[in-house]
Amino acid sequence: MLILLFVSLSCSREPEIKNPDAVTVGFLADAKRLLPLLASDSASGEITGWIFNGLTKYDRDLKITGELAESWEVSPDGLQILFHLRKGVRWHDGAEFTSEDVLFTYNTVTDPKVPTPYSSNYGPVKNVEALDKYTVRVSYHEPFAPALESWGMGILPKHILYDSDITKEIYSRKPIGTGPYRLREWVTGQKVILEANAEYYEGRPGIDKFVARVIPDTATMFLELKFGGIDFMGLTPPQYKLQATKETFNKYFQKFRYPAFGYTYLGYNHLDPKFADMRVRRAITHAINKNDIIAGVLLGYGTPCTGPFPPESWAYNPKVKDLAYDPDLSIKLLGEAGWKSGKNGTLEKNGKPFEFTVITNQGNEARLKTAQIIKESLRKIGISMNIKVLEWQAMLHEFIDKKRFEAIIMGWGLSRDPDMYDIWHSSKTKEGEFNFISYKNTEVDRLLLEGRRTFDHGKRTEIYHRIHEILAEEQPYTFLYVPDALPVLHKRFKGVEKAPIGIWHDFIHWKVPKNSIEWYN
């Protein structure tokens, strides 16, 4: 009774803000490596995005604009880009940024000894030349449609990393970038503190610090939000619907809702004989009621996913129909694949029951609940599914990278360009790469390359529409749902603007009024 009373009273209490000029963000897992080339997890990617700059970036309206490159020209045949770099940009240690850093970054990302998942973006590059201190010419073997986007990857400092093994921990733990924030402190498993870069080329950011706090579950994270321990988090659907609608909550926080540019999926290890059979994968999809998951887990804050592109993408194929919920068809397909009803109604093949384990990451309540619903759905058709919840970094490096899994529930946050070579091409199955399910389809391989080689928007649309059709047919994943993003931010931050790219696009210009009376106006 006392606990319930305390929680009830705390909901109406003003958050205790100890560092008003810092934005503290809740992360479910710690960063792994704070170098752009090695940042393959979401925490590392987000944090390095504030420490480093690329030559290009997406603006608020999802258009490519310059960052470290002030301008550029693309040759009429699409085989060359001439980048004009910003002058006077300084690394966090005071050294000047030059074309040599761009050349060094290219040489590093294409070095076969560097375990980066991003090397394929530079495979079409013929060579990179530093023409002078502030001019870089990139030549391509063939036209490469995502070229400008690919140069959005963070540029590395040659004067620090040249002739060094960048995989050594010291370089990931003490990054030196050109970005609006520099690393101040990293307490493993607890927090990463970035401080504003007073010498940033766009001017000093308006917020003094960016703090990433590691809080492994969303329930604790939400309590920290209400008490003032963090300022920003992505709410779960129950939190958004049941807590964020209260008048007292809305007094202190600004909330947003928009479709996420990504999706959640049930992925299958195609090296496992069970899942190498397309009929089995399609049968599992037919056994899952996606609308029930969206209603029960997301509380309606999402839409069914039909393939590798969300509805917000221009590559999305609206003609692709989702596989209908049809358990009877599931049983039929499984029978055709040799799975027959055995003891206690469990399906068997060659005397072995159909049993497998799904792994997912701790702290993501929606994924766990999704797994539980799928488990019950599959039980009804004779498949026994187990669930294993793992710490994020352990899951990535001990299970996914080493392909020590049968199936997985995960999600992709996608780039705005629909090039998905790294996820679906059959050459991208090595440790640390993104086709960790080992999917292989020769037509998809060919189409992925064709989609990269043409700048014609109409042709690219046709290509990606066909890829959508093939993946919907073969179900290398069961594409589950596109969730709504439900971010919430403390109201003291002013200048926050929701845009097609989200709310963080103008973060360096956010302000906090000195007088706290103005915070909640």
Domain range 13-25+180-257+486-518, CATH class: alpha beta
Domain range 36-171, CATH class: alpha beta
The three-class DSSP label of residue 468 is: helix
Residue 10, pLDDT score = 44
CATH superfamily of 262-484: Dipeptide-binding Protein; Domain 3 (3.10.105.10)
Tell me the backbone φ, ψ of residue 251, rounded to 5 degrees: -70, -35
What is the rounded distance in angstroms from the CA atom of residue 73 to the CA atom of residue 75? 6
Max Cα distance, the chain (Å) = 74
Residue 40, pLDDT score = 86
What is the rounded distance in angstroms from the CA atom of residue 427 to the CA atom of residue 70? 35
| DSSP E strand stretches across 242-301 | 253-255, 258-259, 262-268
| Contact yes or no for 89/99 (Cβ under 8 A) | no
Query: Which alpha helices (H) appear in 343-441, and where do they start and end?
Result: 365-379, 392-394, 421-424
**Residue 118: CB partners within 8 Å, gap ≥ 6?**
37, 109, 153, 422
Residue 521, pLDDT score = 83
Give exposure, 111-127, as e/b (b: 16+ Cβ within 10 Å).
eeebbbbbbbbbebbee
Tokens of 324: 């209908």
Provide the residue ranges of all domains of the chain, joining segments of one domain with +.
13-25+180-257+486-518, 36-171, 262-484
> Beta 347-349 vs 191-196: how paired, if at all?
unpaired
Residue 12, pLDDT score = 59
What is the rounded distance in angstroms from the CA atom of residue 196 to the CA atom of residue 206? 8
Q: What is the pLDDT along the chain (521 residues), one digit of tens a residue?
A: 334 333 443 445 789 999 999 999 999 999 999 999 999 889 999 999 999 999 999 999 989 999 999 999 999 999 999 999 999 999 999 999 999 999 999 999 999 999 998 998 999 999 999 999 999 999 999 999 999 999 999 999 999 999 999 999 999 999 999 999 999 999 999 999 999 999 999 999 999 999 999 999 999 999 999 999 999 999 999 999 998 888 889 999 999 999 999 999 999 999 999 999 999 999 999 999 999 999 999 999 999 999 999 999 999 999 999 999 999 999 999 999 999 998 788 999 999 999 999 999 998 999 999 999 999 999 999 999 999 999 998 999 999 999 999 999 999 999 899 999 999 999 999 998 999 999 999 999 999 999 999 999 999 999 999 999 999 999 999 999 999 999 999 999 999 999 889 999 999 999 999 999 999 98
Residue 248, pLDDT score = 85
